[in-house]
Amino acid sequence: MHYKIISNVRGGLCMSKDNRCLKCSSSIKGLAYSCVHHCTYCHSCASKLQMICLNCNGKLTKKA
Ligand SMILES: [Zn+2]
Ligand SMILES: [Zn+2]
């Protein structure tokens, strides 16, 4: 399982800072979703993408 947020992971296709949605670039105040590479999406984008990351096709899971 890859639910832990590891802040020192760099590189790869997915880079997100803070809680900013990768798709619509809005800052996320409510529920945030992220893939194992820490791409972060807001709830509405995550649902539109059917919980699949745009960058890596990984599954999006709720961030704690
Ligand atoms: Zn969004
Ligand atoms: Zn991803």
pTM of the complete model: 0.72
Low-confidence residues of the chain, pLDDT below 50?
6-13, 16
Q: Give 34's strand partners.
A: 40, 61
23 alpha carbon, closest ligand: 1
Domains of the chain: 16-64 (3.30.40.10)
2 alpha carbon, closest ligand: 2
Whole-number pLDDT of residue 10: 44
Q: Which of 23, 29, 8 is nearest to 60 (CA)?
A: 23
Q: Cα–Cα distance between 22 and 27 in angstroms, integer?
A: 9
If you measure from the C-alpha of residue 1 to the centroid of ligand 1, how many angstroms do you get, rounded to a whole number?
24
Q: Which of 41, 47, 8, 22 is nearest to 63 (CA)?
A: 41
